[in-house]
Amino acid sequence: MNKLAIMGAMQEEIEPLLEYFENIKITEYADNKYYEANLDGLDVVIAYSKIGKVFASLTASTMIEKFGCDTLLFSGVAGAVNNNLKIGDLVIADKLCQHDLDIVAFGHPYGYVPGGNVFIDTSKKIREVAKKVALDNNIKVLEGTIATGDQFVNSVERKNFILNTFKADALEMEGASVAVVCNALNVPFFILRSISDSADMDANFDFDEFLKSSAKISADYVIKIAKSL
Ligand code: ADE
């Protein structure tokens, strides 16, 4: 690995990351800010994309193509789909899908378009490092499926659709688009989320209350992983 990208979607998701760094160089590009810094000798680029799949794809592509990152970690928050997940719990994606990708009218399954796959796997190697870090630091993590869509989900009906269709454990708004970019560009990637809400009718209230604390739980863990790569 030569240069590591660490991205989030929202400012609140990267603020606790930036606290680990001194001497940060900020570059403005494509209507966004990229923070270049060093972590124990490793060159790191940090950015938040803004919410949603399109912005996340742009940022992931930029970090790889313009800044030369050859490994990508994502840190942020998610809504729980798996009922065992509580606020603050950590989820490592072993695979991701787009729950709002829908050409079912043409006989295709949800989440599929020709030339793509319903699920994209994350880097097994990085997951193994992450699980060892968790074990060594007594951090509890669930490895599972993350479903991504351009919707903030706050309905049990939609959540159950995502559970039943994709067997997802958590949902958010960026991960699978980052997966598409990294997969196409052969960049090993890792998507980490800490639960901020249960994607139910209280989700918007819980999200506002727990965004910062859950983002910090994810950021603290992702920094430990970055130091172990
Ligand atoms: N990220 C965190 N909570 C979410 C939710 N309920 N829906 C979509 N993205 C989220």
ipTM value = 0.99
Question: So which residues are the catalytic ones?
Answer: 13, 197
Judge whether 99 and 148 are in contact, CB under 8 Å: yes
**And the tokens for 30?**
């494509």
**And the tokens for 193?**
């989320």
Q: For residue 173, how far is its CA from the centre of ligand 1 (angstroms)?
A: 7
Q: Tokens 């490092």 correspond to what residue?
A: 129
Judge whether 2 and 43 are in contact, CB under 8 Å: yes
In the prediction, which pLDDT does 15 show?
Answer: 98
Neighbour count for residue 8 (Cβ, 10 Å): 27
In the prediction, which pLDDT does 192 show?
Answer: 99
Alpha-carbon gap, residue 132 to 113, rounded angstroms = 35
In the prediction, which pLDDT does 53 show?
Answer: 98
CA dihedral 152, 66, 127, 129 (to 10 degrees): -140
Q: For residue 77, how far is its CA from the centre of ligand 1 (angstroms)?
A: 7
Q: Which ligand 1 atom lies nearest to the CA of residue 78?
A: 2
CA-to-CA separations, 173 to 26, 28, 102, 148, 157, in angstroms, rounded: 25, 24, 16, 5, 18
Q: Tokens 């919410």 correspond to what residue?
A: 51
Query: Looking at this protein, which amino acid is placed at residue 195?
Result: I
Query: Looking at this protein, which amino acid is placed at residue 41?
Result: G
DSSP E strand boundaries for 32-178 = 32-39, 42-48, 71-80, 90-98, 120-121, 141-148, 170-172
In the prediction, which pLDDT does 176 show?
Answer: 99
Ligand 1 environment, Cβ below 6 A: 77-79, 152-154, 171-173, 196-197, 199, 203, 207
Alpha-carbon gap, residue 57 to 224, rounded angstroms = 25
Q: For residue 79, how far is its CA from the centre of ligand 1 (angstroms)?
A: 4
Which mutation among 75, 87, 152 tests ligand 1's pocket best, with the greatest number of atoms within 8 A of CB? 152
Q: Which ligand 1 atom lies nearest to the CA of residue 198?
A: 6
Which mutation among 75, 157, 163, 196 tests ligand 1's pocket best, with the greatest number of atoms within 8 A of CB? 196
In the prediction, which pLDDT does 225 show?
Answer: 98
Q: For residue 67, how far is its CA from the centre of ligand 1 (angstroms)?
A: 29
Q: Whose CA is nearest to atom 9 of ligand 1?
A: 172
Q: Which ligand 1 atom lies nearest to the CA of residue 173?
A: 9
Q: Whose CA is nearest to atom 8 of ligand 1?
A: 152
- Tell me the pTM: 0.98
Q: Whose CA is nearest to atom 4 of ligand 1?
A: 79
Alpha-carbon gap, residue 109 to 125, rounded angstroms = 29
Q: Which ligand 1 atom lies nearest to the CA of residue 197?
A: 3
pLDDT by position in tens, the chain (length 229): 999 999 999 999 999 999 999 999 999 999 999 999 999 999 999 999 999 999 999 999 999 999 999 999 999 999 999 999 999 999 999 999 999 999 999 999 999 999 999 999 999 999 999 999 999 999 999 999 999 999 999 999 999 999 999 999 999 999 999 999 999 999 999 999 999 999 999 999 999 999 999 999 999 999 999 999 9
- Could you tell me the domains of the chain? 3-228 (3.40.50.1580)
